[in-house]
Amino acid sequence: MRNMGFSVLILATCLVPGWGQTATGYSGHAYVFGAPGAISGEADRTLHFGGGGEGFIVKGLAAGAEIGYLAPAGCLGCGVGVLSVNGAYHFGARTPGRRVVPFVTAGYSLGFRGGHANLYNAGGGVQYWFSRRVGFRAEVRDHVTACSRCTTHIWGVRVGLAFR
């Protein structure tokens, strides 16, 4: 299982367009996060940790991937891996010198541990760039699983760092 997670992280990193600066601005960024949260209808809290990256396609439109680990706060060994592939829009992201960049994101998530679960996710937040290369990222993200009998929301308030 450990080798699969590492392989997925390498694959996700390769799928995101190249990092670094281009003549028109930055082509992408990477990020890490920690997120306290909860599951709808449950008393237990959750913790979600992970990282990923996004590459700009045109203007503020980006494609990205991330991998993380989501667990009940009281039983960190009881968690699942979460792989997400998303589209995002960063408002004003390619404007030189802009420090505050709000964004929205949505996409597909795969939960895995022994078996798997298909989910979709949506969220939004802001990145504040301290310098040309390092920023603070804050986001609210909701992972949703829907079946014929129920819909479950797994939400988190993410905080982390972004790098470009």
Among 64, 61, 109, smallest CA distance to 86 is for 64
Q: What is the CATH number of the domain that holds 144?
A: 2.40.160.20
Give per-residue pLDDT as tens, 58-117. 999 999 999 999 999 999 999 999 999 999 999 987 777 889 999 999 999 999 999 999
Structural domains of the chain, count: 1
Phi, psi of 8 (to 5 degrees): -65, -40
Residue range 117-141, pLDDT digits in tens: 999 999 999 999 999 899 999 999 9
State residue 26's pLDDT score: 65
Determine whether 99 is exposed, middle or buried from the number of CB atoms within 10 Å of its CB (0-12, 13-18, 19+). exposed
Residue 97 pLDDT: 81
What the block records as the tokens of 156 is 């988190």
Domain range for 151 is: 2-163
CA pair distance 52, 33, nearest whole angstrom? 9
Task: Provide the 8-state DSSP code for 164.
Answer: -
- The Cα–Cα gap between 143 and 152 comes to 8
Of all residues in the chain, what percent carry a pLDDT higher than 90?
69
